[in-house]
């Protein structure tokens, strides 16, 4: 019996000692971590699609009109020309802003200066990126046009800047520190090549409002360049899969007829129109109402910047903020002019459209090709652009449009996309019921091509 008790005691002590030893080992244990080589720490970057852009690069007028008393001239919108003028405008300092109740814009206004016309309204938060506002808050929510002109009623002629909102039917103006000679220097040197004589028109004569959007149309014929691209770069949809889905590894890819479909069960991306157009949707989950924050244009620019998605040249063509869905449309430009029509009736070939719901981009449509290619120069041809009077003669002969239904008329590019080449021809277009139509000189009538 005594022997058994000794054995039990020895076993008990062994267990106690083992427990103490194991506890010490756990407390003092330090694993040896293997240092990963650089090749093992690398990650997969999404393929670069295009470039990133800032909001400032979109704040370029669609038209700059030079006013010299009773004469007006349209400055052809070459990209570098307008950029140069806007660089000068950004250096203008505005001392103060006061409301002005003088005569609103009209065809009878005569002054010396420049008029900056934008294709879409500007949000007031963007003005600081156009001129130096010295942190002055402007009471207007949106601005449509900016006039910079010589105040000849003053004892010492000074340059005034005026901000016009057609939506709010208000104007604010402020003094500047620039001289008349400085203002003149902004466009000196462009007269011979880029000046096109224009006259003012009002397409909204039936409106009761005193705030009227004056249009300017060429009073003489002139020439512009057209372009033919024999090389068009397709954009790989997989580049967007990497950028638009939370985890690309869980994205399923399959074909639906001639279209491709990518989905992770929540987001979905379609590649349609013979792989020329991408349509992306990310439905918002939940029904919680939240106030939209930020401007939809800036959010959309950031969204596209997130995958370096800017290809070719685009301008803000339309944006709208509502209590339900916000929308923005970016329109392709060539040589500073908008692309307004195409031979296959597909506006998605030259526009990017985004929709936002409660601070989330829920829809995104864009072309899947680009004309941009390093060291590639397209074929250039000169086209004669007839005067406004000549175009009106053609319109009057047409049986497909009524003159009193014209909402706007302007010069833009018509895109003709073929399998082996793509051309851009400058042409006249009319806007009827919010749709642009090409004025066909060859047929002596109008073709609705958008």
Under 8 Å CB-to-CB from 15, ≥6 apart: which residues?
Answer: none
Compute the average pLDDT of residues 225-244.
Answer: 91
Q: How far is CA 393 from CA 203, 390, 398, 446, in A?
A: 17, 5, 9, 12
Better pLDDT: 25 or 89: 89
In a domain, 39, yes or no: no
pLDDT band at 14 (very low <50, low <70, confident <90, very high): low
Task: Tell me the backbone φ, ψ of residue 229, rounded to 5 degrees.
Answer: -105, 120
How far is 444 from 393, CA to CA, in rounded Å?
9
Torsion on CA atoms 426, 431, 436, 440, rounded to nearest 10: -50
pLDDT band at 34 (very low <50, low <70, confident <90, very high): very low
In a domain, 61, yes or no: yes
Domain of 64 in residue numbering reads as 55-220
Tell me: pLDDT of 181 over 60. yes
Task: Tell me the backbone φ, ψ of residue 153, rounded to 5 degrees.
Answer: -80, -10
Tell me: pLDDT of 137 over 90. no
Range in 203-212, 223-232, 363-372, 437-446 with the lowest mean pLDDT:
437-446
Tell me: pLDDT of 45 over 80. no
In a domain, 7, yes or no: no
Report pLDDT for 69: 86
Compute the average pLDDT of residues 195-215.
Answer: 80
The mean pLDDT value of the chain amounts to 85
Report pLDDT for 39: 35
How far is 330 from 352, CA to CA, in rounded Å?
5
Same domain, yes or no: 163 and 266: no
Report pLDDT for 445: 38
- 337-342 and 406-417 beta bridge pairing: parallel
Tell me: pLDDT of 210 over 80. no
What is the DSSP secondary-structure string of 14-52? HHHHHHHHHHHHHHH----PPPPPHHHH--PPPPP-SB-
Same domain, yes or no: 304 and 434: no
> Over the stretch 269-319, which tens digit does the pLDDT of each residue have?
999 999 999 999 998 876 555 556 678 999 999 999 999 999 999 999 999
Same domain, yes or no: 159 and 276: no
> Over the stretch 56-66, which tens digit does the pLDDT of each residue have?
999 999 999 99
Q: How many structural domains does the chain have? A: 3
Compute the average pLDDT of residues 5-30.
Answer: 63
pLDDT band at 450 (very low <50, low <70, confident <90, very high): very low
Report pLDDT for 37: 42
Same domain, yes or no: 331 and 436: no
Same domain, yes or no: 211 and 278: no
Which of the listed residues 370, 405, 428 is the one where a domain comes to its end? 370
Same domain, yes or no: 127 and 242: no
415 membership: H or E segment, kind and range: strand 406-417
Report pLDDT for 368: 96
Same domain, yes or no: 206 and 70: yes
For 137-243, where are the E strands, in sequence order? 142-151, 158-165, 170-175, 195-201, 215-218, 222-229, 233-234
DSSP SS3 for 353: strand
pLDDT band at 4 (very low <50, low <70, confident <90, very high): low
Instruction: Check which CATH number belongs to the domain holding 361 and give it.
Output: 3.30.310.160
Report pLDDT for 201: 87
Tell me: pLDDT of 36 over 70. no
Same domain, yes or no: 429 and 413: yes
How far is 307 from 244, CA to CA, in rounded Å?
8
Report pLDDT for 138: 85
Report pLDDT for 30: 47
Compute the average pLDDT of residues 213-229.
Answer: 92
Same domain, yes or no: 240 and 208: no
Same domain, yes or no: 366 and 383: no
DSSP SS3 for 210: coil
In a domain, 343, yes or no: yes
Better pLDDT: 215 or 323: 215
Same domain, yes or no: 438 and 387: yes
Better pLDDT: 53 or 231: 53
Compute the average pLDDT of residues 82-100.
Answer: 91
Q: How far is CA 215 from CA 187, 200, 202, in A?
A: 20, 6, 6
């Amino acid at each position: 019996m005594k022997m058994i008790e000794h054995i039990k005691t020895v076993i008990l002590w062994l267990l106690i000692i083992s427990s103490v030893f194991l506890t010490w080992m756990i407390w003092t244990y330090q694993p040896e971590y293997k240092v990963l080589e650089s090749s093992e720490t690398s990650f997969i970057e999404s393929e670069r699609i295009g470039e990133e852009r800032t909001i400032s690069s979109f704040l370029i007028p669609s038209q700059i009109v030079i006013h010299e008393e009773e004469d007006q001239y349209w400055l052809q919108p070459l990209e570098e020309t307008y950029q140069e003028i806007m660089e000068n405008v950004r250096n203008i300092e505005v001392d103060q802003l006061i409301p002005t109740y003088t005569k609103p814009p009209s065809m009878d206004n005569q002054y010396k200066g420049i008029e900056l016309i934008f294709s879409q309204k500007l949000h007031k938060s963007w003005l600081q990126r156009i001129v130096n506002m010295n942190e002055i808050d402007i009471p207007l929510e949106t601005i449509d046009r900016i006039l910079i002109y010589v105040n000849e009623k003053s004892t010492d002629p000074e340059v005034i800047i005026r901000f016009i909102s057609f939506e709010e039917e208000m104007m604010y103006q402020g003094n500047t520190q620039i001289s008349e000679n400085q203002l003149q220097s902004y466009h000196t040197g462009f007269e011979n090549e880029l000046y096109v004589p224009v006259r003012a028109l009002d397409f909204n004569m039936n409106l009761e409002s005193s705030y009227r959007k004056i249009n300017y149309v060429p009073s003489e014929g002139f020439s512009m360049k057209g372009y033919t691209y024999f090389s068009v770069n397709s954009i790989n949809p997989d580049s967007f899969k990497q950028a638009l889905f939370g985890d690309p590894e869980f994205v399923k890819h399959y074909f639906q007829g001639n279209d491709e479909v990518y989905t992770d069960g929540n987001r979905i991306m379609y590649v349609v129109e013979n792989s020329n157009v991408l349509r992306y949707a990310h439905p918002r989950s939940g029904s919680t109402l939240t106030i939209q924050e930020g401007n939809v244009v800036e959010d959309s620019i950031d969204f596209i910047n997130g995958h370096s998605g800017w290809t070719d040249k685009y301008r803000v063509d339309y944006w709208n903020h509502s209590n339900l869905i916000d929308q923005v449309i970016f329109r392709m430009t060539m040589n500073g002019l908008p692309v307004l029509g195409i031979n296959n009736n597909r506006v998605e070939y030259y526009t990017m459209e985004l929709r936002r719901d409660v601070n989330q981009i829920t829809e995104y449509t864009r072309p899947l090709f680009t004309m941009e290619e390093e060291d590639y120069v397209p074929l250039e041809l000169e086209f004669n652009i007839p005067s406004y009077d000549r175009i009106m003669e053609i319109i009057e002969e047409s049986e497909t449009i009524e003159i009193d239904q014209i909402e706007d008329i302007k010069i833009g590019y018509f895109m003709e996309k073929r399998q082996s080449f793509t051309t851009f021809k400058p042409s006249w277009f009319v806007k009827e019921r919010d749709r642009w139509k090409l004025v066909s000189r060859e047929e002596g009538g109008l073709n609705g091509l958008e």
